[in-house]
Every structure is written in structure tokens, then in C-alpha cells.
Chains A and B, each alone.
Chain A
Amino acid sequence: MTFILFFEQLLNGMQFGIMLFLMSAGLTLIFGVMGLINLAHGSFYMIGAFCAALIAGLTGSFWLALLASLIGAAIAGVLIEIIIIRRLYRRDHLDQVLATFALILLLSEGVRWIFGAFPLYLNIPNILNGSIPLFFDIIYSKYRLFIILIGFLIAAGLYLLITKTRLGIRIRAGQNDRQMISALGVDISKLYTIVFAIGAGLAGLAGAMIGAIQSVEVGMGEPILILAFVVIVIGGIGSIKGAFIGSILVGVTDTIGRVFLPNFLKIFMESANATSIGSSIGSMLIYILMALILIMKPSGLFGKN
């Protein structure tokens, strides 16, 4: 196992983690601020990807498509928050889970109704196509580097938003004491809508960026959603910092485990068995990680109490 391969896998893990971060940042904010379990978060990922594919098809521009994914998913988020989600804040978690699960079904069927069941086409721009050599003969995909870069920029942006702006202060206050902040004259329902739109927009952006290297299809968000929940449980619910660290941790563990576990097992057993057992354990690894972290820190790495 060479250093070059290991480092390339580390970058792959980072890129996977960054994408998870875009999903889980919104999920954790929404849960932290509004106390809402939003299973339909994966649907915004899908909506973003479909908006991007639509705009890319119409204009041919990838950059416009990215912008469209962010805006399209945010608009969908605002509409859904105002029409449906708003009624769920005071209900218990079971009602929220049921209602947002129903939303998944509605949105998936709706998208299938409009775009059909076959995967759509979204290509990355020529400037990001191909690979570039990094140091030590490492060749890495330009587009994946671009995703990592965008992820760090958004993480920095969110950090500044939460710590330095008035909106950020309100969001933090909303997390701590909902009644007090509305008593102080902050329009809490507007705040909720904004937070929901930010979360939906980020998920949409993630969907579009990933859609370009995978496929844009109905139901693409649900597998990611499960991982995003793992991330926010590991990171501590409500904490953006936790979501960031948790995402990178999950991304790297998953990638490194999947690749190196089969090779590691080959030392002890026959190759075909090692491959099959190794890949099975590899896909369990992040859940084992989650269990271990919860044993040591029941409220996650950066969770309160």
C-alpha cells in the first residue's frame, strides 16, 4: 500500500465528507434551532440536482446551473416551510417524522411525474474536467478538488454568519431560548423560514455538485440523508462545528475503511473471502464509529449537556 494511494484516498474521504457537511449543516441547524426532525432534507438535495440539470439543459452553463440549484432548493424550502413545516414545530417528533416522510414520497413522485424515472444528464464544465498533478506524483480530479474548496468556503461562510452577524446571533439565541427571543421582538417565524431556506439551499447545492459526477435521479437524496443523520449524531445535534468535524470523520473513515480493510484481511485469509468480508465490515464501519462515540460522549462530540 503506497503513500500515494493512501493520500489519494484521504482526499477522496475529505471530498465525501465535505459533501456530507453541506447536507448535515442544514439538517443540524434546522434541528438545533427549530427542534424539527426533517426527513425530507434529502428531497432538497434531489430538487437542487434537478434544478441544476434543468438549467444546464436550457442554458448549457454549469455555473448558472449551480446557482439555480442553490436558489431553486431554497425557494422550495421556503414554500414547504410556509405551507407545511410551520404547522409541525409544536407537534412531537413522531408527528414530524410522519409528516416529513410523507413529504419525501410526495416530492419524489412529483419529480418523477415532471422529469420521468430515468436518470438525467449533468456535465461538469471543461475547465474542471480531467485531473491535475499535485505534489509527489499524486494525480487528482480537478472537480473533486473544486468540491473540497467550495466546502471549505461554505464552512468558513457559515462560521462567520453564525458568529459575526445579527442573523447569527438570532439563530444562536433561537437555539438557546425560543420564547425569550420572540418576547424580545424578533420575528421568530421569519427566522425559522430563513434558517430552513439556508439548509435547503445548501442541500440543493450539494445535490447539484454531486449530481454532476454521479447521476441525477429520483430518490438520490435518501442514502445521503441517512449518513447525514449519522454525522449530526456524531457531531452533536445543533452544532455546525460538530457537523463539520463529524462529516470529515465519517467521510474519511468510510473511504479508508472500505479500501484498506479488504487488503488488511488478505494477510489472514484467502483473497475472495477477504474481499467479501472486508467490504461488508467496511460498510459497517461508520456505524461502529457512531456507536463508539456515543458510548463515550452520549450527546455527540460537540453536543450540549
Chain B
Amino acid sequence: MKNLTTTLAALVIMSASSVFADGHKVKVGMITTLSGGGSGLGIDVRDGFMLAVKDNKNISVITKDDQRKPDIAVQLADKMIQSDKVDVLTGIIWSNLAMAVVPATVNQGKFYLSPNAGPSKLAGKGCHKNYFNVAWQNDNLHEAAGGYANSAGFKNSFILAPNYPAGKDALTGYKRFFKGKLAGEVYTKLGQKDYAAEIAQIRASGADSVFFFLPGGMGIGFMKQFSQSGIKLPVVGPAFSFDQGILKAVGDAALGVKNTSQWSKDINNAANKKFVSEFQKEYGRLPSLYASQGYDTGKLLISAMSKAKIKDMDKFRNELRKADFSSTRGKFSFDKNHHPIQDIYVREVIKEGKTLTNKIVSVGLKDHSNVYVSECNM
């Protein structure tokens, strides 16, 4: 008899939990860059996200490649929303693609969780209750770089970035914190790989330091060519120019360079240690900051799913806003405009055995938010 009741009880619990689980199913559409020049970034975000949601049976993910083209990203988003009926979209790396996809997505009543792109327009006037950025507002890392440049005593910086929304945010962010003069300010073409012309300008400018934001393959070309040019100026940049994916290709030219990041492999907390070791075990390489952002996005989603059903959007949104998960970055919360408040670190490129990687040197900006909060009416 006792056996029967326990069996029945078990059955009831099981069926209850399966009903419970059904209401909790979430379909995620991941649109990210998996081919072409910027594919390393998209692959890291995808792998980080997949690692986070690997053991969660209630999440199903559809992944598509946007080829870093805004028109393709828009088509994919439409298809995912209309015919695949996804609940949440995520994955976009590039700010020009985010500008094309995010407003339409959130206006159609879907959540968008950005694992990377954080253009200023979506943080300020264009903010939306269904849009969350789990990485940073675009200006953040560059603001920290500007702050670092002051403390390093730089007085005359030459600054360059690609000509697209995030590039403009980058230079704006650096200039906001940097107190010295500018020896030159240059916008390059997105995807440009040859920087001979810009390097010649740096040489002629009389600058005492160089700040550059060139994510992905662009940064590899710049650093290699810069070190060959024989110009001996200190270089500072955001982590995007020195992430784990490109350090190997840049080679020793990157050694000793200071860069700013919200994440680093050596941040000392349990969630980060677990993430770094699991990522290495799963994929056989060191994670980059992009992977950590993808991972945190997955964990954020899971944290909200454990408290609310996705169909109850208001409740789900409230749970997202609480950011009740252990981030690989340590302390993490959302500001009013759904962008992170977090520490930004200064890292240095070092050699661990034969592998180039980053080590935290200091905290650049503590509990840093963004300047666009006041422009956002939400």
C-alpha cells in the first residue's frame, strides 16, 4: 500500500512537472555571424550560449547565419518570428545589423536579448521594454580605455575606428573620458584589412599614444602592420581588438598591450571558473569575451524561465530585469534602460606558456552604467 501511494505520488509529481514544463518551453532564434570575416565572433557567442542552455530541455534554439549583412539579418528575423514562431531573438554581433533587426523585433512583441551589439540609439531614445543588452552599451569599454589613457599619462592620442554605428560610439566613448588632445581621428571602412595609409598618418601626426577599436580580423591586420612599421607608441584599445580568438593570429606584436574588458578569463568567481573549464572541455579552446557574453545571455534566459512563463510577458520581463543569475563577470545588474551596470577592467596581454592571453591589471571603472539612461523613457 505504501508502495502504491509513493508510486502514485511520484506519477502525480511527474505529470505535474511535465505540464509545468510545457508552459515553460521557450523557442530561441539565434541570428549571428557564422561565415565571412567576422565569423569568429558569432561562433563564440553561439558556442557560449549553447553551453549555457545545453542541459535545459525547455529551450530549443534555431541558429542562422547573417553573413554580417543587414538585409539577410532582417529576412531571417522575419522568418523566425512569423513562421518559426520564436519567443526570443538573440545573437547579433554587429551594431548596424542590430539597428536593422531589433526595433522591428521588439515592436512585434518578442524579446530581444543582445549578447554583443549595444548601439547608443537603442540605449537612449530608441530603448524598448522588450530589449535587453547582456554585454555592454557600445561606449563602455572605450570609456574605460579613455580613463586608462589619462592614468597612463597620455596627452595626445591618435584614435581610429570603423565607419559604422559601433565605431562612432567607440570614439565618442573614448573622447568622453580622455582628457588630453587628439592628434588625429580617423574612420576606416568596415572590414578593412590594410592600414598602411592610417599608419602613415599616425607616424606623421606626432601622437604620444594610439587608441583603436577594430574588432575581429580588422584588428589582426592593424596590430601586425603597426608593429612592422617601427612606430614605438603605446597602444590601448577595447578587448575586441585583443580577444582570445585573434591573439594567436596577431602574435607577439600584442604582448604587453593594455585593453579594457568587462570580462576576463581570470575573474575570480565560481561561475566564471565553471564557465572557463566547461568551455575548454566542450570546445577545446579558451573562451573569449564574446563566448562569456553568449553564456551569460543563456543563463539570464534560464533565470527568468525558472520564475515565469514566457507567455506572461510582463512577469517574464520583470524577471529578466532582476538579472537573478550568477554572471561570469561577478556583480551584474540592469540599469533603467536595460543595459548592464558592471565593472570594466584593464587587462594586459601576457604569455601563459606558449599561449597568448589576457590578465587583469586593475579595475578601470567600477559599477559603470552608460550616459544614455536619462534619454530613455521607459
Contacts and interface: CB of A to CB of B under 8 A. Distances in A.
A110 B322 CA distance: 44
A141 B229 contact: yes
Contacts of A5: 200-201, 203-204
Contact of B217 (A119, A139, A259): A119
A123 interface: yes
Determine the interface band of chain B, counting residues with CB < 8 A from chain A. Answer: 35 or more
Contact of B36 (A141, A218, A255, A279): A218
Contacts of A271: 185
Given A120-B249, A121-B248, A130-B228, A15 B196 contact: yes
Interface in B27-44: 34-37, 39-40, 43
Contacts of B193: 210, 214-215, 220, 223
A28 interface: no
A147 to B, nearest CB: 10
A129 interface: yes
Contact of A144 (B35, B188, B196): B196
A135 interface: no
Given A118-B40, A130-B228, A275-B186, A280 B34 contact: no
Interface stretch (B72-80, B218-226, B324-332): B218-226
Nearest to B186: A275
Q: How large is the interface on A (under 10, 10 to 19, 20 to 34, 35 or more residues)?
A: 35 or more
B251 A16 contact: no
A219 interface: yes
Contacts of B245: 118-119
Contact of A219 (B37, B163, B188, B201): B37
Interface string B244-271: 0110110100000000000000000000
A244 interface: no
Given A117-B34, A119-B249, A279 B187 contact: yes
A213 B197 contact: no
B interface: dominant SS: helix
B2 interface: no
B186 A123 contact: no
A283 B188 CA distance: 9
B274 interface: no
B191 to A, nearest CB: 6
**Residue among B186, B196, B217 with max Cβ neighbours from chain A (10 Å):** B196
A92 interface: no
Nearest to A118: B40
Contacts of B168: 276
A130 B185 CA distance: 25
A187 interface: no
B189 interface: yes
B35 A112 contact: yes
Given A119-B40, A119-B217, A131-B229, A283 B189 contact: yes
Contact of A279 (B40, B186, B217, B249): B186
B224 A12 contact: no
Given A2-B204, A4-B204, A118-B40, A129 B220 contact: no
A299 interface: no
A144 B194 CA distance: 11
A276 B187 contact: yes
A119 B35 CA distance: 12
A143 B230 CA distance: 12
A219 B185 contact: no
A276 B188 CA distance: 9
A9 B203 CA distance: 12
Contacts of B220: 119, 214-215
A16 B186 CA distance: 19
Specify which of B34, B194, B203 lies most central, judged by the most chain A CB atoms within 10 Å of its CB.
B194
Contacts of A275: 185-187
A218 B189 CA distance: 19
Nearest to B34: A117
A259 B191 contact: no
Nearest to A15: B196
A271 B185 CA distance: 9
Contact of A259 (B36, B39, B197, B251): B197
A291 interface: no
A120 B246 CA distance: 9
B194 A213 contact: yes
Interface of A: 2, 4-5, 8-9, 12-13, 15-16, 108-109, 112, 117-121, 123-124, 129-131, 139, 141, 143-144, 210, 213-220, 222-223, 255, 258-259, 262, 271-272, 275-276, 279-280, 283
Interface of B: 34-37, 39-40, 43, 163, 168, 185-189, 191, 193-194, 196-198, 200-201, 203-204, 217, 220-221, 224-225, 228-230, 245-246, 248-249, 251
Given A117-B34, A119-B40, A279-B189, 13 more contacts: A112-B35, A117-B43, A129-B228, A141-B225, A210-B193, A213-B194, A213-B225, A214-B217, A258-B197, A259-B197, A275-B185, A275-B186, A280-B163
20 contacts: A5-B201, A8-B200, A12-B196, A13-B197, A120-B249, A130-B230, A141-B196, A144-B196, A210-B194, A214-B193, A214-B194, A215-B193, A215-B249, A218-B36, A223-B191, A258-B189, A262-B186, A275-B187, A276-B168, A279-B188
